[in-house]
């Protein structure tokens, strides 16, 4: 059998004009893989090689269950680039449409999963540019995996002005602006292509060349869904739906959560059976051993909400009940709390912009990270003033509205039992540190590392603006005269940064000499030998150091 790198090739899966995909086996793990190899005739074409290599890099950055995963990449013995993906045992949407055996609920399920993948890619600035049924893989369990990001690119809002106009994609699925000039492509271009896929999936027929859809698309297609398809196919990008997430939610409303199953719906509402009369479960957003996150529709008000279920969340439920009577523009609004001996349910407002975790494929722009940090800190300052702490601040519970506003949710919902015994001041210190870890991860793409109570910055740290480095240092230093201890201090520092920079520059005007010496020490750790350090690769280690220091400080205050 032929080998490519460390992979044994068994047979050809599919061959296109640019690349061929082979079925292979990763010998080290004895698992099946798909190996995509550039065709011989393009191995010296720099443009094609660039697109091919970029595909593997883009997919590797996108970590989503509905986007195919890249495992490895390399060069064949004759110098052709290849990359290795997970093997999807199944088929693609083009064949399923051709077979004509899909039920209406299954069509909706495939489209919903496709929307999820596109929504995630778009939140991370990636435009696919070649959405079509052949690139939507469906495994034997019905899970969708969107593939073929070969001509995708990161969107910067300015297009490829320096590149000659060229036709990239599959013409029959392209938007009018993409057909005219690929430099004009935008997220709305993917929405148009998705509309063509929806039309073909729902009607069971190829999209007409004259772009005139039959009406109705099919006997089982509701009028509301047909209007959605036609809106996606509007010739003007600005008239199309604003996002793939919005399309997904409309599809979920039509499907009424039929893909979940009645048994799982009843299980979800087990803590409050009466809620079944008020809400319809549309989708499962996330599940874990501790509970799940569901998308709901209020039956009477036709409004989307989110429900989080818990097995045992005493402090989290208490915080949620307090937040029901409090409102802050930066905190996710709690609409209701219910529970019994089997668990609890907290119902919250739904935010269409997704979470910060969805946007962190690459480090964020410093200005954007500062904007997000300010909103989170303001929300926590309000909560702390009402004796509510968060206790589990992560990118997953920093959420965005449809207009890109920032809100923080899931207060006190990591209840481990020990948290309730902690002093309020100590819990506030934990939130302060969590803000530092969050900001560090936003701007650098790494979790913070500490050694002997001090920050050990990653190499990109030295490239950050000086005042931003000062800000980060104040979260993690062991020096109490410098370290942040309250949200108000962080906001004051953010105000100073805001006042010390122009729109286009981030530089400190009057650097603090104490912080300057601290940063010089941090810089020496970046550039020096690391063999003697006991690095702890998690923000939890920093947290432990602060907890111990805080306990010691509290004990000293009580004794003195």
| Res 285: pLDDT | 86
Backbone φ and ψ for 142, nearest 5 degrees, come out as: 90, 10
Does 379 lie in the same domain as 416?
yes
Evaluate if residue 381 carries a pLDDT over 60.
yes
Asked whether residue 354 is domain-assigned, the answer is no
Asked whether residue 485 is domain-assigned, the answer is yes
Distance CA 262, CA 288 (A): 19
Higher pLDDT, 375 or 542: 375
CB 442 within 8 A of CB 419: no
Query: pLDDT tens, 305-323?
Result: 999 887 765 677 888 889 9
Evaluate if residue 553 carries a pLDDT over 80.
no
End-to-end CA gap in the chain:
78
- Category of 391 on φ-ψ map: left (φ > 0), alpha (ψ -120 to 50) or beta: left
CB 180 within 8 A of CB 200: no
Percent of the chain exceeding pLDDT 90 equals 50
| Res 59: pLDDT | 79
* Tokens (6 digits) for 311: 């097995």
| Res 558: pLDDT | 45
Does 245 lie in the same domain as 367?
no
Q: Which residues constitute the domain of residue 292?
A: 262-349
| Res 40: pLDDT | 87
| Res 204: pLDDT | 92
Does 276 lie in the same domain as 226?
no
For 301-356, the three-class secondary structure string (H helix, E strand, C coil) is: CCEEEEEEEECCCHHHHHHHHHHHCCCCCCECCEEEEEEECCEEEEEEECCCCCEH
What's the pLDDT band for 535 if we cut at 50, 70, 90? very low
Query: pLDDT tens, 91-115?
Result: 999 999 999 989 999 999 999 999 9
Query: pLDDT tens, 409-442?
Result: 999 876 555 555 578 999 999 999 999 999 999 9
Asked whether residue 385 is domain-assigned, the answer is yes
373's enclosing H/E stretch is helix 366-385
CATH number at residue 10: 3.30.200.20
Does 241 lie in the same domain as 154?
yes
Query: pLDDT tens, 156-200?
Result: 444 444 444 455 578 889 999 988 887 788 999 999 999 999 999
| Res 484: pLDDT | 96
Mean pLDDT, range 482-490, rounded to an integer = 95
Residue finishing a domain among 27, 60, 86: 86
| Res 238: pLDDT | 95
Residue finishing a domain among 255, 289, 317: 255
Backbone φ and ψ for 138, nearest 5 degrees, come out as: -130, 120
Q: Where are the alpha helices (DSSP H) in 257-313?
A: 262-268
What's the pLDDT band for 525 if we cut at 50, 70, 90? very low
Evaluate if residue 273 carries a pLDDT over 60.
yes
Evaluate if residue 523 carries a pLDDT over 50.
no
Distance CA 413, CA 416 (A): 9
Query: pLDDT tens, 354-378?
Result: 999 999 888 999 999 999 999 999 9
Cα 404 to chain center, whole Å? Answer: 14
Q: For residue 360, give the nearest of 460, 454, 447 by alpha carbon.
A: 447
Does 306 lie in the same domain as 167?
no
Mean pLDDT, range 462-485, rounded to an integer = 92
Q: What is the SS3 assignment for 287? A: strand
| Res 549: pLDDT | 52
Does 153 lie in the same domain as 184?
yes
| Res 271: pLDDT | 63
Q: For residue 239, give the nearest of 201, 196, 191, 202 by alpha carbon.
A: 191
Number of domains in the chain: 4
| Res 31: pLDDT | 93
Higher pLDDT, 405 or 536: 405
* Catalytically active residues, by annotation: 130
CB 296 within 8 A of CB 307: yes
Does 98 lie in the same domain as 78?
no
Mean pLDDT, range 343-347, rounded to an integer = 86
Mean pLDDT, range 459-480, rounded to an integer = 92
Percent of the chain exceeding pLDDT 70 equals 83
| Res 548: pLDDT | 45
Query: pLDDT tens, 274-301?
Result: 778 888 889 988 887 777 889 999 999 9
Q: Could you tell me the pTM of the whole model?
A: 0.76
CB 167 within 8 A of CB 144: no
pLDDT averaged over the chain? 83
Q: Where are the alpha helices (DSSP H) in 171-243?
A: 176-180, 187-203, 223-232
What's the pLDDT band for 154 if we cut at 50, 70, 90? low
What's the pLDDT band for 501 if we cut at 50, 70, 90? low
Does 436 lie in the same domain as 296?
no
User: What are the C-alpha distances in Å from 312 to residues 272, 306, 345, 409?
Assistant: 14, 19, 10, 18
What's the pLDDT band for 470 if we cut at 50, 70, 90? very high
List the beta bridge partners of residue 293.
286, 308
Asked whether residue 287 is domain-assigned, the answer is yes
51's enclosing H/E stretch is helix 46-61
Contacts of 486 (CB under 8 A, 6+ apart): 381, 384, 428, 432
Does 512 lie in the same domain as 479?
yes
Asked whether residue 355 is domain-assigned, the answer is no
Evaluate if residue 342 carries a pLDDT over 80.
no
Does 169 lie in the same domain as 61?
no
Evaluate if residue 226 carries a pLDDT over 90.
yes
Query: pLDDT tens, 23-46?
Result: 999 988 899 999 999 888 888 888
Q: For residue 132, give the nearest of 206, 71, 69 by alpha carbon.
A: 206
List the beta bridge partners of residue 284.
294
Does 106 lie in the same domain as 49?
no
Residue finishing a domain among 255, 271, 296: 255
Q: For residue 313, give the nearest of 339, 279, 287, 277 by alpha carbon.
A: 339
Does 453 lie in the same domain as 322?
no
CATH number at residue 496: 1.10.510.10
Higher pLDDT, 335 or 54: 335
Mean pLDDT, range 127-139, rounded to an integer = 93
- Category of 236 on φ-ψ map: left (φ > 0), alpha (ψ -120 to 50) or beta: beta
Evaluate if residue 496 carries a pLDDT over 70.
yes
| Res 504: pLDDT | 45
């Amino acid at each position: 059998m032929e080998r490519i790198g460390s992979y044994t090739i068994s047979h050809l899966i599919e061959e296109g004009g640019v690349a061929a995909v082979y079925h292979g086996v990763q010998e080290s793990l004895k698992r099946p893989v798909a190996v995509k190899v550039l065709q011989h005739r393009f191995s010296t074409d720099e443009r094609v090689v660039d697109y091919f290599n970029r595909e593997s890099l883009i997919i590797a950055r996108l970590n989503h269950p509905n986007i195919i995963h890249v495992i490895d990449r390399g060069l064949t013995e004759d110098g052709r680039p290849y990359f290795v993906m997970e093997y999807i045992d199944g088929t693609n949407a083009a064949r399923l449409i051709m077979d004509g055996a899909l039920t209406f609920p299954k069509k909706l399920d495939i489209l919903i999963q496709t929307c999820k993948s596109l929504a995630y890619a778009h939140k991370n600035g990636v435009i696919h540019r070649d959405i079509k049924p052949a690139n939507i893989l469906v495994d034997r369990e019905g899970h969708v995996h969107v593939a073929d990001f070969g001509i995708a690119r990161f969107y910067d809002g300015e297009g490829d002005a320096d590149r000659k106009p060229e036709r990239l994609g599959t013409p029959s699925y392209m938007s009018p602006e993409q057909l005219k000039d690929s430099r004009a492509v935008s997220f709305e271009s993917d929405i148009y292509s998705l509309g063509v896929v929806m039309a073909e999936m729902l009607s069971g027929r190829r999209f007409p060349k004259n772009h005139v859809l039959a009406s109705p698309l099919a006997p089982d297609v509701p009028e509301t869904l047909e209007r959605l398809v036609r809106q996606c196919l509007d010739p003007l990008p600005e008239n199309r739906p604003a996002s793939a997430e919005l399309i997904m939610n409309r599809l979920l409303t039509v499907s009424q959560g039929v893909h979940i199953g009645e048994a799982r719906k009843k299980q979800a509402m087990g803590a409050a059976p009466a809620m079944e009369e008020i809400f319809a479960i549309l989708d499962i957003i996330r599940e874990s051993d501790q509970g799940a996150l569901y998308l709901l529709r209020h039956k009477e008000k036709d409004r989307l909400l989110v429900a989080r279920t818990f097995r045992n969340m005493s402090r989290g439920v208490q915080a949620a009940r307090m937040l029901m009577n409090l409102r802050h523009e930066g905190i996710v609004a709690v609409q209701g709390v219910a529970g019994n001996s089997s668990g609890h349910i907290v119902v919250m407002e739904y935010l269409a912009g997704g979470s910060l975790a969805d946007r962190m494929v690459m480090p964020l722009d410093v200005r954007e990270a500062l904007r997000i940090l300010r909103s989170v800190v303001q929300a926590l300052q309000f909560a702390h003033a009402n004796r509510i702490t968060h206790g589990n601040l992560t990118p997953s519970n920093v959420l965005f509205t449809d207009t890109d506003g920032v809100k923080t949710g899931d207060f006190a919902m990591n209840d481990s039992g020990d948290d309730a015994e902690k002093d309020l001041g100590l819990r506030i210190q934990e939130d302060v540190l969590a803000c530092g870890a969050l900001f560090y991860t936003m701007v650098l793409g790494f979790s913070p590392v500490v050694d002997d109570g001090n920050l050990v910055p990653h190499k990109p740290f030295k490239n950050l603006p000086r005042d931003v480095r000062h800000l980060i240092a104040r979260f993690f230093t062991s020096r109490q005269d410098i370290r942040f201890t309250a949200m108000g201090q962080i906001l004051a520092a953010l105000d100073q940064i805001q006042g010390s920079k122009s729109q286009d520059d981030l530089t400190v005007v009057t650097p603090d000499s104490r912080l300057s010496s601290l940063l010089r020490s941090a810089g020496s750790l970046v550039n020096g030998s690391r063999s003697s350090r006991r690095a702890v690769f998690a923000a939890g280690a920093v947290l432990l150091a602060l907890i111990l220091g805080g306990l010691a400080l509290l004990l000293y205050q009580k004794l003195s």
